[in-house]
Amino acid sequence: SFTSIRLVAGAITLWILVQASSKRRAPGGSWPSAFALLAYAIAFSFAYVGLTTGTGALLLFGAVQIVMIAAGFFGGEQIDRTLVLGWLLAVAGLILLLLPGITAPPALEALFMLIAGVAWGVYSLRGRGSRDALGDTAGNFVRSVPGVLLISALFWTHRSADLEGTALAALSGSLASGLGYAAWYTAMPSLGAIVAANAQLSVPVIAALAGVVLFDEPITARLAISSALVLGGTALAVRRKLTPQGARSSIGT
């Protein structure tokens, strides 16, 4: 229920924004990107119910890292010591943040989370060629709606949604998913695959810091250190400009 409401709300919000923009045009995107988005959302919804937050995040972001770094490596993006250092710092910070919640995962849920990570990595990579982030994201969301509604119909007897849950799902779809994914597609062309993979590691830290600001959650030494490692490592990678080096990349200076 949550996933279907989230994607439908995101599609509606983005379609309205595209139509209201100064350059009115049909939503862009593509079917392969929409399929990757749908696969991510569905696999994640099946996975998270059986995993702890720490375990799920490590599986998800681990799969994302492998897909995106491999794509950048074989696509000719340069990898130097600064980028490697930034990535190692960010990974260390993420593990420190999530370590208390890591447990041995159930096999099926772990598989679904790995599928979600691969799908999100593919969806992100397809954003490298986007020239209209809002229009492309809108088109991808709109194309994903028939699929998510079909899957929701197949699991209709397992639905669970009250008014508050529906409202939260709609807000999540409109803001966090719809507008957030459009912002991500805006950044992807200038980041490159490897730096974008590094930037993904900051998501759990930003979410934890948002909990401190919005919900008065305590600031622990572990959160402070992990935040410094992840955000510092991400900053090292993002500030570095990637340059193509042919079919493969090498570790330089």
Interatomic CA distance for residues 78 and 243, integer angstroms: 6
- Which spans in the chain are helix H? 2-20, 31-47, 53-74, 81-98, 107-126, 133-154, 163-171, 180-191, 193-200, 203-215, 221-238
Which of 197, 202, 183 lies closest to 83, judged by CA?
197
Are 193 and 72 contacting, i.e. CB atoms less than 8 angstroms apart?
A: yes
Domain range annotation of the chain: 2-238
Residue 214 has pLDDT above 50, yes or no: yes
Interatomic CA distance for residues 109 and 117, integer angstroms: 12
Q: CA 59 → CA 24, 45, 123, 170, 233, distances in Å?
A: 40, 14, 17, 26, 20
Burial (Cβ within 10 Å: 0-12, 13-18, ≥19) of residue 31: exposed
Are 200 and 32 contacting, i.e. CB atoms less than 8 angstroms apart?
A: no
Instruction: Tally the residues of the chain.
Output: 253
Which pTM was predicted?
0.86
Q: Please write the tens of the pLDDT for every residue from 50-89.
A: 888 888 888 999 999 999 999 999 998 888 888 899 999 9
Q: CA 93 → CA 61, 107, 124, 230, 231, distances in Å?
A: 13, 26, 22, 5, 9
Rounded to a whole number, what is the distance in angstroms from the first to the last CA of the chain?
50
Residue 27 is encoded by which pair of tokens?
């939503």
Q: Please write the tens of the pLDDT for every residue from 123-162.
A: 999 999 898 999 999 999 999 999 999 998 887 766 666 7
Q: Which of 108-122, 159-173, 215-229 shows the lowest per-residue confidence on average (mean pLDDT)?
A: 159-173
Q: CA 211 → CA 217, 223, 227, distances in Å?
A: 6, 11, 13
pLDDT for res 251: 38
